[in-house]
């Protein structure tokens, strides 16, 4: 791709992200608390490499970066976009590989999902002190309604699948299963440690016995 | 006078052949004339795309905090402004230009934008840079090399003041890769540019010189060879906007 086009795309996206952050001081503050960090996104189909550089609460999007990379994401564009939009924290079956600090990724995902833009300021600047806040109120209500509906749809679909159709296990059953797996893992780790200790004691006893039987 | 000697003592000023001693003065007249409205004309002529070319140059510079950068032919200070933020208070950026009118505009613009402390302004000829050997981590020359009388001499001078491992970035108009684009670009350059120059700066000749000087400038591969001949290693270039502009990069070994 011609660098002019890719640079234009990066510059526009960067401007959009930073404008959004300017109207959500809480998210900007959380980003500032992360410090100066860099996330490399290696998109494999199509092949695009992007660097998300965090500096003083601002986001820079670059095509080239020569400093230290804190976290690297690899996957197809679709998989990376799904990971970013779904808000899921598990990478299992996501088709995305992560190298380096996964904490940075979780923090960025959390900031993105909690982004709450204060529309009043930009709209007031654009439309005046009466129409601006009214429209901002409508937008806020619209977003709130949409989020509530979305959350309700997910919750009711889940309930229908697990309780009515019995097609999937209930989240509580899944939690119990995870707990059981964790207990089994801990138990086998303890057993392995005990077996190792027993083997070491046995080896030491055999060596001592051999030394005791040797003629002087 | 032999023909060879005559060749050595003349150079191009747009499509004209002039004595080497004469070119610097005529280029200076062009920039004295356009300095006040240089930024406006850049935006009009390129439709703002020159900002993207410069952004890409900054990205490829790899400049970090604490480094020393020389922005040759820096004119109105677009690159210097970005570099001053990248190098931070512990770094240093020198805005250099042979033309005092351009420097005045650049210095005022930087002061207006609150840039001070890590930027110095120097009136300097790219062919004879007044800096010690191995001084800079990065040198940029954006839309300036084609106006230099002896480009090889300028490249050697840049090599001298770069630190080993330092990089030179040359952002310059070049040759479009597509013949159709080249034809459209020619029509645009020779019809639209002088007209806009006359309307905005009341100076059509300077923008006719701009169009002509771009055609006389070495193409991508020739400039790459010139950089390699001057002593730069790992020379490469990136075509931008279909080759209308190219960014050349070289490293001092």
The reply to whether A98 and A14 lie within a common domain is yes
The reply to whether A103 and A131 lie within a common domain is no
Which chain A residues are Cβ-neighbours of B247 within 8 angstroms? 3
The reply to whether A46 and A99 lie within a common domain is yes
In a domain, residue A216? The reply is no
Across the interface, do B238 and A7 touch by the CB < 8 Å criterion? Answer: no
The reply to whether A78 and A149 lie within a common domain is no
DSSP single-letter state for residue A163: I
The reply to whether A61 and A132 lie within a common domain is no
The reply to whether A139 and A61 lie within a common domain is no
Across the interface, do B56 and A7 touch by the CB < 8 Å criterion? Answer: yes
Q: What is the CA radius of gyration of chain A?
A: 27
The reply to whether A36 and A104 lie within a common domain is yes
Residue-wise DSSP of B144-184:
-GGG-S-HHHHHHHHHHHEEEEEEEEEEEE---SSHHHHHH
Which chain B residues are Cβ-neighbours of A4 within 8 angstroms? 49, 52-53, 56, 240-241
The structural domains of chain B, ordered by start, are: 24-176+218-251 (3.40.50.150), 179-210 (no CATH)
- Structural domain count, chain A: 2
Write down the mean pLDDT value for chain B. Answer: 87
In a domain, residue A196? The reply is no
**Which helix (H) or strand (E) covers residue B139, if one does?**
strand B136-142
The reply to whether A82 and A127 lie within a common domain is no
In a domain, residue A199? The reply is no
Domain that holds residue A77: 3-114
Most confident of A74-78, A105-109, B109-113: B109-113
- Asked whether the predicted pLDDT for residue B28 surpasses 90, the reply is no
In a domain, residue A10? The reply is yes
The reply to whether A11 and A103 lie within a common domain is yes
In a domain, residue A197? The reply is no
Question: If pLDDT is split at 50, 70 and 90, which confidence band does A192 have?
Answer: very high
pLDDT at B2: 45
In a domain, residue A181? The reply is no
In the block, residue with structure tokens 């890769």:
B177
In a domain, residue A183? The reply is no
- Asked whether the predicted pLDDT for residue B3 surpasses 70, the reply is no
B125 among annotated binding-site residues: yes
| Bridge pairing between strands B245-251 and B136-142 | unpaired
Most confident of B2-11, B45-54, B55-64, B192-201: B55-64
Contact at 8 Å (CB) between A143 and A119? no
pLDDT tens figures, A121-154: 777 877 887 887 888 888 878 878 887 888 788 8
In a domain, residue A7? The reply is yes
User: Mean pLDDT across the stretch B67-95?
Assistant: 93
* Higher per-residue pLDDT: A120 or B248: B248
Q: Quick one: how far is CA B19 from the chain centroid?
A: 22
Question: If pLDDT is split at 50, 70 and 90, which confidence band does B62 have?
Answer: very high
Which chain B residues are Cβ-neighbours of A3 within 8 angstroms? 56, 238-240, 247
Is the pTM higher than 0.80?
no
Which CATH number covers residue A62?
3.30.1050.10
Question: If pLDDT is split at 50, 70 and 90, which confidence band does B8 have?
Answer: low
User: Mean pLDDT across the stretch A7-25?
Assistant: 90
pLDDT at A190: 95
pLDDT at A216: 54
Query: Measuring CA to CA, which residue among B131, B130, B218 is closest to residue B170?
Result: B218
Does any CB of chain B come closer than 8 Å to the CB of residue A62? Answer: yes
- Asked whether the predicted pLDDT for residue B193 surpasses 90, the reply is no
* Higher per-residue pLDDT: A61 or A44: A61
Across the interface, do B241 and A8 touch by the CB < 8 Å criterion? Answer: no
Nearest-CB residue to B59 (from A4, A8, A62):
A62
pLDDT at B1: 42
The reply to whether A59 and A19 lie within a common domain is yes
Percent with pLDDT over 90 in chain B = 56
Beta strands, E only, chain A? 37-44, 47-55, 58-62, 71-75, 97-100
């Amino acid at each position: 791709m011609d660098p002019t086009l890719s640079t234009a795309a990066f510059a526009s996206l960067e401007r959009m992200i930073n404008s959004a952050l300017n109207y959500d001081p809480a998210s900007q503050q959380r980003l500032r608390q992360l410090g100066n960090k860099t996330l490399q996104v290696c998109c494999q189909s199509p092949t695009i490499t992007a660097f998300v550089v965090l500096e003083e609460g601002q986001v820079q999007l670059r095509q080239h970066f020569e400093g230290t990379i804190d976290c690297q994401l690899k996957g197809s564009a679709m998989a990376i976009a799904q990971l970013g939009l779904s808000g899921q924290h598990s990478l299992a079956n996501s088709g995305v590989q992560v190298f380096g600090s996964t904490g940075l990724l979780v923090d960025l995902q959390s900031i993105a999902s909690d982004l709450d833009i204060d529309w009043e300021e930009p709209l007031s600047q654009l439309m005046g002190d009466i129409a601006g806040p009214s429209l901002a109120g409508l937008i806020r209500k619209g977003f709130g309604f949409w989020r509530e509906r979305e959350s309700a749809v997910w919750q009711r679909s889940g309930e229908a699948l697990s309780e009515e159709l019995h097609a999937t296990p209930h989240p509580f059953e899944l939690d119990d299963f995870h707990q059981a797996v964790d207990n089994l893992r801990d138990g086998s780790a303890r057993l392995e440690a005990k077996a190792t200790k027993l083997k070491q004691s046995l080896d030491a006893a055999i060596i001592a016995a051999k030394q005791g039987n040797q003629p002087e | 006078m032999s023909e060879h000697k005559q060749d050595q003592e003349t150079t191009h000023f747009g499509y004209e052949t002039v004595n080497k001693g004469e070119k610097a003065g005529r280029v200076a007249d062009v920039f004295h004339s356009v300095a006040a409205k240089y930024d406006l004309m850049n935006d009009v002529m390129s439709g703002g795309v020159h900002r993207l070319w410069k952004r890409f140059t900054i990205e490829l510079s790899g400049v970090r905090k604490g480094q020393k950068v020389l922005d040759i032919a820096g004119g109105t200070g677009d690159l210097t402004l970005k570099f001053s933020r990248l190098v931070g208070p512990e770094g240093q950026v020198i805005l250099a230009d042979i033309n005092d009118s351009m420097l005045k505009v650049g210095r005022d613009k930087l002061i207006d934008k609150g840039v001070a402390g890590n930027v110095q302004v120097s009136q300097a000829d790219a062919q004879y840079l007044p800096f010690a050997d191995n001084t800079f981590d990065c040198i940029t020359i954006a839309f300036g090399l084609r106006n230099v009388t002896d480009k090889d001499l300028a490249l050697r001078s840049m090599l001298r003041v770069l630190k080993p491992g330092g990089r030179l970035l040359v952002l310059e108009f070049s040759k479009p890769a597509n013949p159709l684009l080249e034809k459209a670009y020619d029509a645009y350059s020779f019809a639209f540019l002088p007209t806009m120059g006359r309307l905005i700066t009341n100076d059509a000749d300077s923008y006719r010189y701009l169009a002509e000087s771009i055609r006389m400038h070495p193409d991508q591969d020739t400039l790459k060879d010139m950089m390699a001949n001057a002593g730069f290693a790992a020379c490469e270039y990136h075509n931008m906007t279909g080759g209308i502009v190219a960014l050349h990069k070289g490293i001092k070994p």
